[in-house]
Structure 1
Amino acid sequence: MSSNIINLLWESFLETLLMVGISGGLGAVIGIPLGVFLFVTSPKGIMPKPFMNRVIGTIVNAIRSTPFIILLVAIIPFTRLIVGSSIGTVAAIVPLTIAAAPLIARLVETSLREVDKGLVEAAQSMGATNVQIITKVLLPEAMPGILAGLTIAFVALVGSSAMAGAVGGGGLGDMGIRYGYQRFMPEVMAAVVIILIVFVQSLQSFGDWAVRRASHR
């Protein structure tokens, strides 16, 4: 394999890292509060608002049920409005973020549901406000589950970023399609697959470590 191909693989990996890192970070910033909202406004939540919960939940489910490749194409006008282009690494961050946020929201909501209701009731009996219950009870207790959910989301984003590469999103997916498939270079495709496997394994290992740290606390 030539040094030029190796350099391209490195640049493609950095593009994938950029896409996954930024979209995952933005997805978490949007998804975690959204997941908390879905939990606390549910009929049995501490601030029940069934109508708003149903509306937001429907939107979240609609985005989650849309295959990423279709979502990627469907929001091209929105992507152009935000970043001025629908092609390239920066442009791919927009649909990746939109895909990540609802997934993270549902994972956070699921983690919050696993918190012992007795802890919430004890906090309420001591006069804790809803904000205090969320920040001092629910989020700390659910943190291992939330971190595990974020790990799942970041791993899923690696696959989605590769899919974005198939339509000009850049990154390892683009490298695999352009060189490994279209130019019949199986060694490039193999290298892309190996890099993706190592990347995903690294993400999973780091996520597992973070979950263990949070659990020990």
Structure 2
Amino acid sequence: MKWIKKVDHITYAVAKGMMNKWAWYHIEIEGGTLVNRIDDVNPNDPSSSMKLWCIDFETFGIALVEGIDRAERSQVSVFVEKHGDHSVQHVAYDTVHLGAFLERARKHGVRLRGETLLRNDGFGMVKQVFSKGYDGEDPADMQFAEYVERQGAHGEAEPAITFSSRVGKGFYYQIEQAREQKDRETFIDFGRMPQGWRPPAPVDLDAELPRALDR
């Protein structure tokens, strides 16, 4: 069974002062539509926060995050310092039956950052969960995965790609909590990978093409 349907959205971390420039690029050059603009996901947090702007391309979305430093440096500022401007912080994958997929993933050693977030983002309910980082360093430095399931996953009409400000606050909090707890667990325990596993033989596309043309 194929558990991943498509990329739901990509989140880029941008350098200070670059949010408006990258939004111009994605909107005016690539043709996206700004559907959500949150200039401070944690306005009452004296420590740090981030901006979150979301751009819709109908079949997938792009999110831009920019750090807001206060008493402490924002985790987004830390990420950009390591990876550079407009670097991919995480990719969100649209899954079939998120709960069943997560149960399967956990059995195979996948470690999640926190609980599944359930939100109404204006177009219906969306479930979202974030993984731990791909490497065992500071959680603010690490790229990670997001898995989502939107209404429409089981046959109904798919809604437009949309984003929730509360989800932005949610994953920001989860990473902050991981930093406080000095959580350095990685995304997956490869010790559960069967010994001697090899991928199946790839499909011979050159051989398949004549058959497809004959049909």
TM-score range, shorter chain: under 0.3
**TM-score, scaled to structure 2:** 0.26
Query: Which one has the bigger strand percentage?
Result: 2
Query: Which one has the bigger helix percentage?
Result: 1
**TM-score, scaled to structure 1:** 0.26
